[in-house]
């Protein structure tokens, strides 16, 4: 957090804000006001402590949460905290939570217990919780009762107000809780910080309107809201000017982007506009819902020079009967047809998916249908999940919940199948030359760097830090399961 330069534009605005004057009503000015206020508090604390104050952001869950955490880190940095890599040593710790499956919740309670013990050693430590799990009433009740050492709790809809909540919490000696049920608001121009200088996530929409019957996301992230295309383009323009070469467009269902805007625009059209931005060399997006993936998008992907050769297309189940109970609104055949059209337009595309096993009522025959799709599509990677009952979703009260031992046994069989297929699918690139975006020095061997291909596979090859953030051609020498060892190719 500390190592980024302070945002100059923001500094100029902060300079003219009177932090002792009335609180501005308009956003984002209101948040800038609270950044200035919170900054004063941090400066005061630092004087007392005789050292800088530090903060740590811990992220659970998906890419959307990872992006939200960059916004939290951006505000903490503007307020004056430096980054502390060890959460137990930080003065301010925030957990950005996930609740998509029950085990995510259990993990949070475990980590919070550990942090509570660290706080006993350092009573000045402040602990904040935000994100999807905080949108559940029972969770907040449990926290109030059993984790009274938590200082601040807020949800997904008011994350943009983090500076204000932080400031309120600094001034209050008690637990501050602010959870909104829903929102139709999108607040632009809130500071954020990037984990990588050369790539960035970009939210294009928030929330979800699909109500798949097992999924808690629409309840905790609210109704679908798309950002204005001009705001998205402006953000990407600035990222490109700042050295970003790869962007990941984020939304629960990017294929329905723009449908509810005052001037509707399709996701495919948005991609075409983004493609024109100089400096951006790679475009990724996530997640696609098969029911909304248009012919127009397939055409745009086929023609694009920048859209990566990777599509994450969650199937969830291969059984049309189960898909109907899941409220997915496509059949097995429609999904397979879609895969065929995509492969026809983009032959080298890498396909990945999400699969749930053990959805209520799933029989062995239904499960065989899922295996059949896996064998037909031959995914490059599949994320497999055991069905987890989420209170408040329609599936939680469905009859015929599948016994845990049956779920587990099907899960193991599915895993064996997807792993052996994706290992074979991964191998086929051996010997080819691929363009790679170098992301980091290899974690285990400092003589190697790690890069990502357009199809999302990783390759490790000899190189040094000067390559990070560049796109270079690499020959894939050897496939080791799910990644490659390669060598950079001289002169392209
Ligand atoms: N149980 C298991 N997996 C789930 N997912 C969403 N909700 C549940 C649930 N209740 C999975 C879906 C989704 C991914 C992000 O998480 O496969 O695509
Ligand atoms: Fe959940 Fe379905 Fe929305 Fe994805 S599309 S977030 S699985 S409700």
Q: How confident is the model at residue 2 (pLDDT cuts 50, 70, 90)?
A: very low
pLDDT on residue 442: 94
How do residues 157-172 score in pLDDT, each as one tens digit?
999 999 999 999 998 8
Mutate to test the pocket of ligand 1, among 356, 370, 394, 418 (most ligand atoms within 8 A of CB): 356
Phi and psi (nearest 5°) for 433? -105, 125
pLDDT on residue 481: 87
Among protein residues, the one whose CA lies closest to atom 17 of ligand 1: 354
6-279-224-183 Cα dihedral, nearest 10 degrees:
20
How do residues 198-257 score in pLDDT, each as one tens digit?
999 999 999 999 999 999 999 999 999 999 999 999 999 999 999 999 999 999 999 999
Q: At what angle do helices 29-49 and 162-171 cross, to 10 degrees?
A: 40
245 in ligand 1 pocket by Cβ < 6 Å?
A: no
Rounded to the nearest whole angstrom, what is the distance from the C-alpha of residue 118 to the centroid of ligand 2? 36
Q: Of 210, 447, 469, which Cα lies nearest the Cα of 485? A: 447
How do residues 72-128 score in pLDDT, each as one tens digit?
999 999 999 999 999 999 999 999 999 999 999 999 999 999 999 999 998 899 999
Q: Once rounded to an integer, what is the mean pLDDT over residues 170-177?
A: 91
Q: How far apart are the first and last CA of the chain?
A: 36
Q: Once rounded to an integer, what is the mean pLDDT over residues 49-76?
A: 95
pLDDT on residue 352: 97
1, pLDDT greater than 60? no
Q: Ligand 2: which residues within 6 Å by Cβ? A: 208, 210-212, 215, 217-218, 252-253, 289
pLDDT on residue 385: 98
Q: Please write down the HEC assignment for all residues of 53-71.
A: CEEEEEECCCHHHHHHHHH
Q: How confident is the model at residue 6 (pLDDT cuts 50, 70, 90)?
A: low
Mean pLDDT of the chain: 95
DSSP strands (E only) in 9-148: 54-59, 82-83, 92-97, 126-131
Residue 211 alpha carbon, nearest atom of ligand 2: 8
pLDDT on residue 490: 79
d(CA 200, CA 195): 8
Q: Once rounded to an integer, what is the mean pLDDT over residues 337-349?
A: 96
How do residues 351-408 score in pLDDT, each as one tens digit?
999 999 999 999 999 999 999 999 999 999 999 999 999 999 999 999 999 999 999 9
The ligand whose atoms approach the alpha carbon of 222 most closely is 2
How do residues 480-491 score in pLDDT, each as one tens digit?
988 999 999 976
Rounded to the nearest whole angstrom, what is the distance from the C-alpha of residue 16 to the centroid of ligand 1? 47
DSSP H or E run through 416: helix 404-427
3, pLDDT greater than 60? no
Phi and psi (nearest 5°) for 51? -160, 160
């Amino acid at each position: 957090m500390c190592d980024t330069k302070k945002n100059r534009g923001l500094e100029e605005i902060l300079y003219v804000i009177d932090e002792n004057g009335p609180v501005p009503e308009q956003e984002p000015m209101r948040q800038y006001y609270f950044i200035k206020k919170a900054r004063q508090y941090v400066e005061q604390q630092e004087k007392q402590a005789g050292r800088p104050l530090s903060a740590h952001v811990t992220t659970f869950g998906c890419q959307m949460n990872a992006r939200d955490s960059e916004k939290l880190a951006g505000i903490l940095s503007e307020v004056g905290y430096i980054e502390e890599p060890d959460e137990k040593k930080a003065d301010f710790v925030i957990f950005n939570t996930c609740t998509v499956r029950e085990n995510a919740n259990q993990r949070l309670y475990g980590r919070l217990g550990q942090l509570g013990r660290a706080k006993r050693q350092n009573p000045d430590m402040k602990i904040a919780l935000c994100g999807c799990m905080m949108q559940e009433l029972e969770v907040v009740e449990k926290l109030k009762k059993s984790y009274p050492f938590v200082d601040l709790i807020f949800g997904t809809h008011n994350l943009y107000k983090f500076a204000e909540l932080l400031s309120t919490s600094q001034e209050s000696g008690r637990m501050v809780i602010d959870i909104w049920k829903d929102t139709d608001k999108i607040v632009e121009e809130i500071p954020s910080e990037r984990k990588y200088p050369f790539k960035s996530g970009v939210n294009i929409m928030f929330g979800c309107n699909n109500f798949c019957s097992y999924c808690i996301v629409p309840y905790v992230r609210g109704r679908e809201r798309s950002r204005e295309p001009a705001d998205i383009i402006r953000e990407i323009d600035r990222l490109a000017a700042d050295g970003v070469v790869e962007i990941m467009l984020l939304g629960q269902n990017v294929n329905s982007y723009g449908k509810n805007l005052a001037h509707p625009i399709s996701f495919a059209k948005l991609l075409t506009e983004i493609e024109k931005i100089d400096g951006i060399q790679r475009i990724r997006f996530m997640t696609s819902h098969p029911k909304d993936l248009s012919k127009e998008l397939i055409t745009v992907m086929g023609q694009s020079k920048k859209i990566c050769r990777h599509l994450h297309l969650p199937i969830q189940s291969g059984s049309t009967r189960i898909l109907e109970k899941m409220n997915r609104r496509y059949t097995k055949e429609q999904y397979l047809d879609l895969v065929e059209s995509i492969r026809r337009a983009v032959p080298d595309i890498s396909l990945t998916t999400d699969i749930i096993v053990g959805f209520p009522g799933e029989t062995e025959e239904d499960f065989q249908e899922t295996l059949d799709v896996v064998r037909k599509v031959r995914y490059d990677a599949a994320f497999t999940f055991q069905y987890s009952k989420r209170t408040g979703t329609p599936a939680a009260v469905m009859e015929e919940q599948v016994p845990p031992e049956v779920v587990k046994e099907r899960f193991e069989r599915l895993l064996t199948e997807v792993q052996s297929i994706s290992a074979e699918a991964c191998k086929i690139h051996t010997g080819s030359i691929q363009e790679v975006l170098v992301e980091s020095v290899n974690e285990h061997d400092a003589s190697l760097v790690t890069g990502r291909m357009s199809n999302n596979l990783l390759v490790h090859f000899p190189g040094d830090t000067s390559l990070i953030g560049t796109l270079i051609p690499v020959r894939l020498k050897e496939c080791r399961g799910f990644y490659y060892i390669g060598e950079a190719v001289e002169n392209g």
